[in-house]
Homo-oligomer: A and B are copies of this chain.
Amino acid sequence: MPISLGSVQLKIMRVLWSEGKASARQITETLSEEKPIAHSTVQTLLRQLEGKRAVTHEREDRTFVFRPLIKESEVTKSVAQDLLSRVFQGSISGLVAHLLESEEVTPEEMERLQKLVREKSQEVEK
């Protein structure tokens, strides 16, 4: 079951992941800091997310409070896998090659990356 979210849906989820729970209103306000969005839009998207079992809600006073049902890692995983298979035919090195060429990469980032790869290599080795 591939979890597929649109870009605004993802932003909503991100608020929920970082806050743990939030009302529609809170989400609207958080998202609006960056770029205004109508409250009703957020509500519609929350219902869509509920439809695909990504969130749930419970009443608190008269307000719905939403909670994420899926973990961030599940989503990022499926999105990344989808990209990988669709665009790079499964080649991680192909993807990374592109990214390294086209992005500004800080030395710290390279450090982390190297460490990751080194560790993983150990495992695969034997």
Contacts and interface: CB of A to CB of B under 8 A. Distances in A.
A110 B88 contact: no
Interface of A: 7, 10, 73, 75-77, 79-81, 83-84, 86-88, 90-103, 105-107, 109-110, 112-114, 116-118, 120-121, 124-125
B10 A87 contact: yes
Contacts of A98: 73, 76-77, 80
A73 B88 CA distance: 11
Prevailing SS type, chain A contact patch: helix
Given A80-B98, A102-B80, A93 B109 contact: yes
Contacts of A118: 114
Nearest to A77: B102
A100 B80 contact: no
A103 B81 contact: yes
A120 to B, nearest CB: 5
Given A81-B102, A83-B83, A117 B110 contact: yes
A38 to B, nearest CB: 21
A125 B109 contact: no
